[in-house]
Amino acid sequence: MFSVQIVNATNLVNKNFVHFKKKIFTGRRDNACEKTSYMFLRKELPVRLANTMREVNLLPDKLLSQPSVKLVQKWYMQSFFELLEFENRKPDDPHALNDFLETLIEIRNRHNDVVPTMAQGVIEYKEKFGFDPFVSSNIQYFLDRFYTNRISFRMLINQHSTSPHPKHIGSIDPNCNVAEVVTDAYETAKMVCEQYYSAAPELKIEEFNAKAPQKPIQAVYVPSHLFHMLFELFKNAMRATNELHEGSKEGLPLIKAKVTLGKEDLSVKISDRGGGVALRKIDRLFNYTYSTAPTPSLDSKRVPLAGFGHGLPISRLYARYFQGDLKLYSMEGVGTDAVIYLKALSSESFERLPVFNKSAWRHYQGGPGADDWSNPSKEPRDASKYKAKR
C-alpha cells in the first residue's frame, strides 16, 4: 500500500527565477531578500531530494546493489540530512545565512559527478545481469525523472549561490544571444573532435528572426543549459560526419545551424551529412541503456566523445525542463537534423517537474503490458498453409 504522505515540489516560472534573484542581489547583498530565499529553499530543496530518494528505493534490488548506485544514494542521503539541519534555524540567526550558503555550495560540488556515476551504475548492472525489457523500461522512466529533478535542484542552488554578474541574474541571461552560444558550443565540440579525429567539420550559422528581422535572436534563458544541449548535438554530428567521410577527397561536409524565432517558439536546428540513422533506431538514441560508441573510462583524462548513452536523453531533459523539447529527424544514407525547441516567451517557460504519486508508484510495480499491435517479427504470416481444399 502506498501510504507515505507525498509533498510535491513547487513549480517555478523562468521569470520567477529572474525576479527572485534580482531581489537577492541588487549590486549588493540584500539581507531581507536573501532571508526570503533561505526560507523558501530550506523547505523546497529537502522536498525535492526526499522525492528523489523515495523513488530510488522503488528500483529493482539488482540495480540498487551496484556500487555506483550505492554511492549516489549516499550522496543524496548526506545532502538531505545536511539541509534538515536548517529546518529550525531562524533567518535572523546571524550565522544561518552564511552557513546555508556554504552548505549549498558543498552539496552542489558533491553532486557534480552524479550523472557519470549513475551512468556507470547502469553499465555495471547491464554487465552483470544483461538486458531485461521490464527493468530497462523502469530505468528509463526513473532516470528521466531523476535527472530532471537534479537539473531543478542545481538550478535553485545556483540562483541562490551565484555571485553578482553585470549581465546574468544567477544562472539566467535575460538577453542570451543564441547564435553566440551556438558558436561557443561548436568551438568546444570542435576541440574535442580534433583530439579524436584530427579534423572537424566547419560550421555555417543562419538566423531567421520573424519578430524583429535583421536583429540578433535573444532569449531569457540559462546559457549553460543551451550550451549543454548544443555541445552534445555538435559532438554527435561531428563524430558521424568524420566516420562517414574519413579519407574523402571532397573533405568533410559542413554542419549547418539555423536559429529561428517566432511568436511561440525559439528553435535551433543542427544539420549534418553524417549518414543518418534508420527510423527504427531513432527512439533508441534517447535510451539510457543504449550507445553506439564504446563505453568510456571514468578515469580518462580526455573528455569522452560518446559512450555513456546519456548525452541525448539528458539534453532532451534540459530542453523539456522549461517546456521545450529536442527532436531528431533523420534520413538514412544522408544525415540528421536535430532541433531544439524553446519557449519564445519567458512567461511560458515554467518548470516541468516529476510528480510523485500513486501513478508513479504503479509504474514500477506493474509488469510490461501485452503489445496490442501486430509484431513485425511475426507478421505477415505464411498464407500458403491456409490454401482451400479443391
Whether 29 shows a pLDDT value over 60: the answer reads no
Q: What is the pLDDT of residues 152-175, one digit of tens each?
A: 999 999 999 987 777 888 899 999
Band (380; pLDDT cuts 50, 70, 90):
low
Domain that holds residue 208: 173-348
Domain shared by 132 and 268, yes or no: no
Domain shared by 158 and 268, yes or no: no
- 179 burial via Cβ count (<10 Å: 0-12, 13-18, 19+): middle
Domain shared by 151 and 205, yes or no: no
Residue 170 confidence (pLDDT): 87
Residue 168 confidence (pLDDT): 87
Residue 6 in any domain: the answer is no
Whether 386 shows a pLDDT value over 80: the answer reads no
Domain count along the chain: 2
User: How far apart, in whole angstroms, are the C-alpha atoms of residue 75 and residue 56?
Assistant: 13
Looking at residue 222, its amino acid is: V
DSSP tag of 385? G
Domain shared by 43 and 75, yes or no: yes
Q: What is the pLDDT of residues 357-366, one digit of tens each?
A: 888 888 888 7
Peptide bond into 380 cis (omega under 30): yes
Domain shared by 198 and 163, yes or no: no
Residue 1 confidence (pLDDT): 34
Domain shared by 153 and 94, yes or no: yes
Q: State the DSSP H helix or E strand holding residue 218, giving kind and residue range, or none if neither.
A: strand 218-221
Domain shared by 213 and 254, yes or no: yes
Band (299; pLDDT cuts 50, 70, 90):
low
User: How far apart, in whole angstroms, are the C-alpha atoms of residue 34 and residue 29?
Assistant: 8
Q: What is the CATH number of the domain that holds 122?
A: 1.20.140.20
Mark which of 133, 168, 203 sits at the end of a domain. 168
Prediction pTM value: 0.88
Residue 8 in any domain: the answer is no
Segment 104-115 mean pLDDT: 97
Helices (H), 57-89: 61-64, 67-84
Q: What is the pLDDT of residues 49-65, one digit of tens each?
A: 999 999 999 998 999 99
Query: With contact defined as beta carbons under 8 Å apart, do 274 and 198 qualify?
Result: no
Show which residues are catalytic.
Answer: 228, 232, 235-236
User: How far apart, in whole angstroms, are the C-alpha atoms of residue 287 and residue 343?
Assistant: 25
Domain shared by 89 and 37, yes or no: yes
Mark which of 117, 146, 168 sits at the end of a domain. 168
